[in-house]
A and B are shown apart, each in its own frame.
Chain A
Amino acid sequence: MSTHCFKPLTGQVGNIIDYVMDAPEVKPYHELAYALRLVTEEIVVNINNYAYTDKEKGYLIVSIEKKEDNLIMEFRDGGVPFDPLVKEDPDITLPLEEREIGGLGIFLTKKLMDSLSYNRVSGENVLILVKHITNKKKN
């Protein structure tokens, strides 16, 4: 299992993406590289933008684990309580001219991963993403 605490969080989005993509659990799965980069970017950018009122104190603990046929990614931050999964999905059937501009990142994350769960644990937001690694192409 790979785990790392990024503190402070400011300016670290690129480093966190690199950390995930270079993790020994992730690196062998070239066919998942696009999806895993995308979900990592979307989640980390969200946390970086919204979790902390005092950015200096912000941190994010990223853990990656391979368990049987699953790749499990955990994102743990100490920011304000925020469950990204309760937000309604954007209506992608609307004409482009009428689309809402927000909510696409978490929507893509839901589409690309096999399961997502959120819990508030001991003052931290814990978001867990799971991708089946035998099921190569979900989309």
Chain B
Amino acid sequence: MDNSFNVREEGSHLFVELQGRLDTNNAPLLMEKLSAYKGKGLDTVVFDATKLIYIASSGIRTIIFVKQKLGSNPKIVFFNCSDDVKNVFTMTGLQNYIDFKNK
């Protein structure tokens, strides 16, 4: 399974395309990649979860990291989140801090 991701900056927005699983294997790498945008004054981080089938607590920590450590308290948007993934956000109380959208 392809669990890679793509990060792209456009103005004050960061676009992160996720695929497969965001788990203990690859969440630290994503966190490292996102760290590069610390202090850049990002306004919004947009995750495309169309191809994401699974998120574990390590993935949830990455989202908390974005909110806490990038320095600009960016808005978080998730596109096309599956019910399973959304359920994990709900169980960990993140659902109110994420703008879920479908496209």
Q: Are B57 and A42 in contact (CB under 8 A)?
A: yes
Among A52-60, A98-106, A113-121, the one that faces the other chain is: A98-106
Contact of B64 among A14, A34, A96, A108 (CB under 8 A): A96
Write the nearest CB–CB distance from A36 to chain B, whole angstroms: 12
Interface string of B39-79 (1 = CB under 8 A from A): 00000000000000010111011001101100001000000
| CB-CB under 8 A for A139 and B91, given A14-B25, A34-B54 | yes
Question: Across the two chains, which residue of chain B brings its CB closest to A100?
Answer: B64
Q: A38-B56, A42-B56, A97-B67 are in contact. Are A111 and B23 (CB under 8 A)?
A: no
- Interface presence of A41 (CB below 8 A): yes
List of A residues within 8 angstroms of B60 by Cβ: 104
Q: In the complex, how many residues of chain A place their beta carbon closer than 8 angstroms to a beta carbon of chain B?
A: 22
Interface residues on B, range: 20 to 34
Residues in chain A near residue B68, CB distance under 8 A: 96-97, 99, 101
Bound complex: CA of A34 vs CA of B85, how far in Å?
Answer: 9
Contact B94 A96 (CB under 8 A): yes
Q: How far does the alpha carbon of A13 sit from the alpha carbon of B54 in the complex, in Å?
A: 16
- B93: interface (CB < 8 Å): yes
Most chain A beta carbons < 10 A, residue from B61, B65, B67, B91: B91
Q: Does the CB pair B94–A139 fall under 8 Å?
A: no
In angstroms, Cα B57 to Cα A107, docked, is: 9
In the bound complex, residues from chain B placing their C-beta under 8 Å from that of A13 are: 24-25
List the A side residues contacting B23 at CB < 8 Å: 41
Cβ contact within 8 Å between B91 and A105: no
Q: Contact residues of B with A, CB < 8 Å?
A: 23-25, 54, 56-58, 60-61, 64-65, 67-68, 73, 84, 87-88, 90-94, 97
Residues in A lying within 8 Å of B, measured CB to CB: 13-14, 34, 37-38, 41-42, 45, 92-93, 95-97, 99, 101, 104-105, 107-108, 111-112, 139
